[in-house]
Amino acid sequence: MKTLFRKSLLLAMAAASSPLPAQEQAPAGSEAAPAVAQTPPTDVTGQNIFSIPDLKTQWEAQAVLNQREDRIAFMTSDEDVVVVQSVTGLVTVLNAENGRQYWSTLVGRRGDVSMAATTDSELVTIMTGPVVHAFEKFTGKKLVSYRLPHNPASTPVLVRREISWGGVPRMARYFYVPTLDGSVVAFDIDLLSRLGRLGTLPPEVARAEQWRFIVGEDVPFGLVAGNDRLAFATSGGNLFSTGMFGGTAGKARFQALLKSPVSAPVALSVRGTDERVVTATQDGRLYCVDLNSSGALLWNLSLGVPVQQAMLTVGDDLFLVTHDGVLAKHSIVSGDSAQLQRGTGAVASQSESRPGELRSYGASVEVHLDGLTEFSPLRIANRSTGQQVRSLTLDLSKLPLTIAASESDPAIPDLKVLADGQERTGLRSMTLSPDQKILTLEFSEFDPEELLYLQLELEHSDVPSWQIRDTHLAGAVVKALVAPPRVGSSGASEAFPPRTISGQLETRTEPWIVRGVRQLVATSDSTLYFLDLYNRLVGVDRQSAEPVFRMNLDEHGLRPFNDRTDRILTISQSGRVTSLAERRIEYGVVALPIGGGITWAIGPRAELNVDFARYHKHPSERPIMPDVPAKDPKPAADEQ
């Protein structure tokens, strides 16, 4: 309830202060509104909704498990299913939307070294020892059980493509797997299925593998597949790309030298026709290479600390966690670190001292504003050493802004002094230049470490007053007249004469980082979730990096990284799987009379059922799944 109240209050404030995007039009009949009123954004169903960082349990399910003797080894998920694997080889496949069990089976032999399952839209593949097992995704029908010529080095990648076979188009299904002999091998799943059923390959096929690309180095992490090419990195510090189909299948497209062994799985970013891979190395560097070129390096940067876990690419954003627990956000386009605006401010300062003495009369005045000027006050702070502020001017001559004047006297600004700042600082007068560009404040006793808060009333030729932000003030000049405190009535004993110090307002930025992060968990449209060093689930705003959610997860033993959807999946060692999703709230607009006009207050109206998971890679798509009800149907009543 506290979260709902907080969100309602923030939205109501936003309706009165900062309008929503321009494409969102006002409700009908809002003639008296002082400006264009806005309605809430809508989702694909046309409902007015927003997500709030308050997780709600979507479903709970029990994986098949002998709780006395068995424990969980892996849990993986995609847009359609959740696959749970135990150390004894029990595999349970659950519906990702409602937790219903599709199928369960024993894969391999007890004690076999296995790897996490990989999936595509039709298949689930599991590696146990040197054997690859492939199942139909929704039925569990076994299609392939094939012993590889060498043990796999990491999990395979599945690819489906429509190809022409003898002039007849067909949907081919391949998997590509790196092996411990330093090779990457491609297999056709349909051919392996035929080999398993009939014990022979078609007459025109001489061997089961499609092609083999010899690297000669270990491939410690899995492969990534673009539209036509594979990419993988080696422990020797090389990034390779090979063709997957046609005349380029199994042939090198490029080799990039990284100068250091890779430290994390390769991340693939697909943005329309643009495909690029990002590789992290043990010397703390990132390399971004164009996958569809001859190995063109798009950007590289030095982090100073290696990245040792999977990275997340969403749209133009790249999220990563360094070895020292720092979560960072970078641009996938340029590699630049995302920057956070921390308000607009200026520091006017000057230090003076007598020859041969320590500096003792340092003059420093800070001016800072953060946010909308209608709600955020201008803060003026005297940070000097033994210096009083006698006067301060704010010059907007270089900006398209003016300071609102009092209706009774155009030479007096329409400003509000908050709290008791006027008495504490000895504010004597406030004057405004004829062009309303220069504000002058006169003080009598504005001593060090005292603060003055002013509510600015600004006017802009193109921006409504309730939309003027701190960034609009960037470039304004601040000048302060400072001097030591007066002694006696004459003031003749001042150590230094009054002097003017100046500064310019600038928008302050800092890198988008969050410290104390252990592992990424998932991301929604607005919130990024991770585990902190205390094993808590924490959510931070993707834009501001501000913490918005925290929850203890001590009873859950495994929280896999879900890079496909916005669902948060956890599992206990007893095999209890839980799916969490952000709550979604429908909200409405209520007309409120304010200041002789009408503004629109936005508030929550009802909680909606959370629909299908949102996809990160293909946000416009929805799951294509068999129609499985969330619960078993009730027995039909006997007809009388």
Residues 6+ away with beta carbon under 8 Å from 493? 487
pLDDT score recorded for residue 17: 35
Q: Answer yes or no: is pLDDT of 598 > 70.
A: no
* pLDDT, tens digit, 9 for 90 and up, residues 338-372: 999 889 999 998 876 656 555 556 889 999 999 89
| Co-location of 9 and 134 in the same domain | no
pLDDT score recorded for residue 109: 78
Domain boundary among 170, 197, 216: 216
pLDDT score recorded for residue 496: 65
What would the mean pLDDT of 404-414 be, rounded to a whole number?
A: 92
CA angle 573, 631, 143 (to 5 degrees): 65
What would the mean pLDDT of 202-225 be, rounded to a whole number?
A: 89
- Residue of 276, 163, 154 lying closest to 210 (CA atoms): 163
- Give the pTM: 0.77
| Co-location of 25 and 164 in the same domain | no
| Co-location of 84 and 25 in the same domain | no
pLDDT score recorded for residue 36: 32
| Co-location of 14 and 130 in the same domain | no
| Co-location of 96 and 23 in the same domain | no
Number of H helices, E strands in the chain: 3, 45
Query: How many structural domains is the chain composed of?
Result: 3
What would the mean pLDDT of 213-235 be, rounded to a whole number?
A: 92
The overall longest dimension of the chain from CA atoms, in Å, is 112
Rg (CA), the chain: 32
Coil, helix or strand at residue 467: helix
Rounded CA-CA distance 203/200 in Å is 9
Of 158-167, 385-394, 546-555, the range with the lowest mean pLDDT is: 158-167
| Co-location of 41 and 118 in the same domain | no
- Residue of 396, 505, 398 lying closest to 457 (CA atoms): 396
Domain boundary among 216, 242, 265: 216
Domain that holds residue 11: 2-54+584-608
CATH code at 501? 2.60.40
Rounded CA-CA distance 385/139 in Å is 77
Q: Which phi and psi (to 5°) does residue 424 adopt?
A: -70, -40
Query: What percent of the chain lies above the pLDDT cut of 70?
Result: 80
Q: Exposed, middle or buried by CB within 10 Å (0-12, 13-18, 19+), for 323?
A: middle
- If one counts every other C-beta atom within 10 angstroms of the C-beta of residue 211, the result is 16
pLDDT score recorded for residue 39: 40
Tell me if 598 is assigned to some domain.
Answer: yes
| Co-location of 209 and 355 in the same domain | no
Report how far Cα 437 is from the mean position of its chain's Cα atoms: 40
Tell me if 474 is assigned to some domain.
Answer: yes
What would the mean pLDDT of 134-159 be, rounded to a whole number?
A: 92
Tell me if 551 is assigned to some domain.
Answer: no
- What DSSP element (H or E) covers 410? none
Of 59-73, 171-185, 504-518, the range with the lowest mean pLDDT is: 59-73
| Co-location of 29 and 113 in the same domain | no
